[in-house]
Structure 1
């Protein structure tokens, strides 16, 4: 055998790609899910573009979803983060939305998945992507005939859900695609999972004006200079005194559990049905109100008006 003192050295192994977020469309193309290399995950039902699950790296669920939640596209989902558009509640005195069902049609329409994008961070373990953004779209072309008749306007919505190691960002872009102006309301109806409602306090709403929808008659008052505690049925629409950029925090047992930072969403709705949960057909278990609190970012006091061709954008970051 001929000696080859200058034989080529072994080829260096080709470095593998950094870990990437995994995005899947499952359940007969009805659900989009994403998992980061670090383990955080999110699931979004195309029906309503409703976020039904959000877990941290340890697999702990951050959202509350009713055990009786209907996810087959026959009714709005009870829990997670449903979307309210173009009306909050009902508005019988507002001509443009008076014929719409409660909370409008966004949460009961099937959205289109528009795709994903990622961002990189050197801080991510193994140099992988640190976040993934999932985009969903809805326009008047996708509406049911019933919804088109009730709200005969041309529009386009792009809803972006961004999952990162530190939280969940939800952003809505609203565009008037028609030739006439129209107005709307928007709410991100977040059901946050907690362990014991009696140990929960909400800060960031001190000395803020709020509408108490439980009071009879419905009244407007100012909250005290202290944390909000839930001790009974609660349904309030706050206008935080600190403005839309002021963070709202949810603590449990004195330890901060969630923080919510809003962008162009001036109101915060705080809701818990308390023992009245037993009269809500798809709310389960009946005492599930002890493990949830809704702290919802929205533009629901008055109306946002869009002229032909105009756009509006608002969103929130829920940090953990």
Structure 2
């Protein structure tokens, strides 16, 4: 059985998901090109994290816990729970739950569901976390979206004004004062921006046209903005490909949700190509 799930809505929007990692790899809105970056050097397989698309971060962000970096979800094989094509959309639901391997890394019984729906110029993603055990647990989560661009130095982000952030490169705190955050050519950026997320706009200022992604959230409080810069040294990323993407990801990092046995937490992101 192939690890890849292909979705196509009646209006021509397309997406590809991978059961390995429970990961959206590709999204092409109706009448438009690819919106997600996926590294040509990325490898897929048990225990490996793919570079690109939209990895699911759970139950910890980065090294903010005692388990594997960015958690256990992005390196496990998920199952296809449901797939459907409606009159105006297409969707798939992927599921992951605890097993002997996950319990060694994180000793809690859980269930994850990732729902992906596409229609026209809109992509909807929902992440649900269920406590299947007999004791409470807390966690962090994120949809680590790699948005494809032609040149990261031509990208600005709107919607972060007056938000607190922590610069993960320097360890210093700050506040985003300006209306637009501009990425500097070749310079890395790694920020966790805290607080209720207002609608975000990722804008690529092209030479002939401007591309805009409008991103809304329900349930995610934080935002991560990351690009490794020109001297990244990442083995699974071509040297020049730092220019080809910007990670603007919705996350729940600062205030960790706490689930009692039987409880569920749900968060969503809705992305529209304008």
Give your verdict on TM over 0.5: yes
Bigger RCO of structures 1 and 2 (CA < 8 A, at least 6 apart): 2
Structure 1 residue ranges (4+ consecutive) displaced by more than 6 angstroms after TM superposition: none
Give CA-to-partner distance per residue, 1:238-259, whole Å, 9 cap, x none: 125xx33x20001111734211
Is residue 36 of structure 2 the alignment partner of residue 63 of structure 1? Answer: yes
Q: In 2, Cα distance between the equivalents of 1:200 and 1:305? A: 36
Deviation larger for 173-182 or 251-260: 251-260
Deviation at 1:118, TM superposition (A): 4.1
Q: Select the structure of larger CA radius of gyration.
A: 1
2:139 to 169, 172, 184: 184
Q: In 2, Cα distance between the equivalents of 1:102 and 1:197? A: 25
Deviation at 1:74, TM superposition (A): 4.7
Q: In 1, Cα distance between the equivalents of 2:132 and 2:47? A: 28
1:151 to 95, 106, 125: 106
Deviation at 1:58, TM superposition (A): 3.4
Which residue does the alignment assign to 1:47? 20
Is residue 97 of structure 2 the alignment partner of residue 109 of structure 1? Answer: no
2:8 to 25, 32, 35: 35
Q: In 2, Cα distance between the equivalents of 1:83 and 1:235? A: 18
Give CA-to-partner distance per residue, 1:55-94, whole Å, 9 cap, x none: 1233511101111011244510001111100000113xxx
Q: When the two structures are superposed, what TM-score results if normalisation uses the length of structure 1? A: 0.80
RMSD over aligned Cα, in angstroms? 1.5
User: Which consecutive unaligned segments of at least 5 residues does structure 2 have?
Assistant: none
2:243 to 290, 305, 310: 290
Contact in 2 for aligned 1:249/1:256 (Cα 8 Å): no
Q: In 1, Cα distance between the equivalents of 2:255 and 2:32? A: 39
- SS of corresponding position for 2:138: strand
Which residue does the alignment assign to 1:222? 175
Q: When the two structures are superposed, what TM-score results if normalisation uses the length of structure 2? A: 0.93
Q: In 1, Cα distance between the equivalents of 2:31 and 2:56? A: 27
